[in-house]
């Protein structure tokens, strides 16, 4: 196990200078751009983020426009990325910046981390990349790279392991702290990958890597998840009128997927007779119920198992908002959990 990581600094920075990706948010290093990209990149692959980022910045080009955007438009722009509380926190933070910082993004880690939805990693990334503050930015990629370099078999999901990694890196942070942090993240994204076999022969740090020397890359990092997801059964109704309009309703302002739109649904699975009774109780006059498909959607703490039914109605119920598929696509934010039932 190597104890001194100082030797990785120069080869890592040299590799990054020659191999770094040309991302839109790297062109100017504006804190607004880095901030939006970092929040989007949480739990999402870079390739998937690119089009979301471009659309978001086009519609909301600065902090003021983000602070003033309607919740509905914001959620529509975020649709498909998941974790919708992140979008709401972006707007909340933008409002804070307008009110408390005169519209100027704060330029120190200690101030950045006070903003809603910004944790240690994001604050470190923005502070180092945009303002060259010598602070670490430790995400999953960085934890994996350092664990392999050090040959550590400690559980990287434990807070104390993350803290130890931060302390190790803080000791070796160069003046180019932003480049160093980005380099570690990109090395984990491109070379020291999480899935599949790491590309050790292309790695600029292989001569300093314990996992490579001891053939332990398949065993490291160690990730032990203590969490078991709660499983819930849901029945989804695609209520459709004769013109092809679909019934949607707005979810509560608090809780999971708050403020988004959904198709009417119930807890648990039901027999045909129970389905008919539920629709009748909700004063929905229908002519046909057709099973559509089974589906699953996984959240952080909950796993939804769903059965969907297409219900042809005689007339529109006033209890719902009736929209065309085009309107649903363009205007109303519909989470991926429900969007998968659109045909």
- Which residue among the candidates 14, 18, 38, 273 is catalytic per the annotation? 38
Secondary element (H or E) of residue 296: strand 286-298
- Could you tell me which of 212, 167, 171 has the C-alpha nearest to residue 191? 212
Cβ-contact 166, 3 below 8 angstroms = no
Give the span between the Cα atoms of 190 and 198, in whole angstroms. 9
Cβ-contact 145, 184 below 8 angstroms = yes
38 carries an active-site annotation = yes
Residue 65, number of CB atoms within 10 A of its CB: 12
CA angle 133, 136, 140 (to 5 degrees): 145
Secondary element (H or E) of residue 62: none
Which residue is associated with the tokens 């708050």? 258
- Could you tell me which of 1, 20, 53, 9 has the C-alpha nearest to residue 189? 20
Secondary element (H or E) of residue 323: strand 321-323
- Could you tell me which of 130, 119, 120 has the C-alpha nearest to residue 165? 120
Which residue is associated with the tokens 């919740």? 71
Cβ-contact 247, 239 below 8 angstroms = yes
Cβ-contact 232, 267 below 8 angstroms = yes
Cβ-contact 29, 182 below 8 angstroms = no
Sign, CA dihedral 152-156-158-159, equals: positive
Give catalytic residues, as residue numbers.
38
């Amino acid at each position: 196990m190597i104890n001194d990581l100082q030797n990785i600094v120069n080869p890592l920075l040299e590799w990054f200078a020659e191999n770094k990706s040309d991302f839109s948010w790297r062109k100017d290093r504006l804190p607004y751009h880095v901030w939006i990209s970092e929040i989007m990149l949480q739990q999402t692959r870079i390739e998937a983020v690119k089009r979301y980022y471009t659309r978001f910045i086009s519609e909301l080009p600065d902090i003021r426009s983000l602070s003033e955007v309607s919740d509905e438009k914001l959620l529509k722009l975020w649709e498909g990325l998941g974790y919708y509380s992140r979008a709401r926190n972006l707007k909340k933070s933008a409002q804070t910046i307008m009110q408390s910082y005169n519209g100027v993004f704060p330029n120190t880690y200690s101030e950045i981390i006070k903003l809603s939805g910004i944790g240690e990693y994001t604050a470190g990334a923005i502070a180092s990349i945009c303002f060259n503050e010598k602070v670490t930015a430790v995400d999953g990629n960085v934890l994996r790279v350092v664990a392999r370099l050090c040959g550590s078999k400690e559980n990287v999901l434990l807070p104390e392991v993350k803290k130890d990694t931060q302390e190790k890196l803080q000791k070796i942070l160069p003046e180019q702290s932003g480049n160093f942090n980005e380099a570690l993240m990109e090395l984990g994204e491109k070379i020291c990958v999480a899935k599949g076999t790491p590309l050790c022969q292309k790695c600029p740090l292989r001569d300093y890597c314990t996992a490579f020397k001891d053939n332990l890359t398949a065993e490291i990092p160690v990730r032990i998840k203590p969490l078991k997801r709660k499983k819930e059964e849901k029945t989804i109704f695609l209520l459709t009128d004769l013109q092809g309009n679909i019934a949607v309703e707005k979810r509560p302002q608090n809780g999971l997927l708050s403020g988004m739109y959904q198709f009417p649904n119930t807890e648990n699975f039901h027999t045909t007779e129970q389905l008919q009774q539920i629709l009748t109780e909700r004063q929905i006059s229908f002519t046909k119920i057709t099973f559509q498909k089974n589906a699953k959607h996984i959240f952080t703490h909950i796993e939804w198992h769903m059965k969907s039914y297409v219900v042809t109605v005689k007339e529109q119920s006033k209890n719902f908002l009736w929209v065309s598929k085009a309107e649903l696509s363009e205007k109303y934010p519909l989470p991926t959990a429900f969007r998968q039932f659109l045909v």
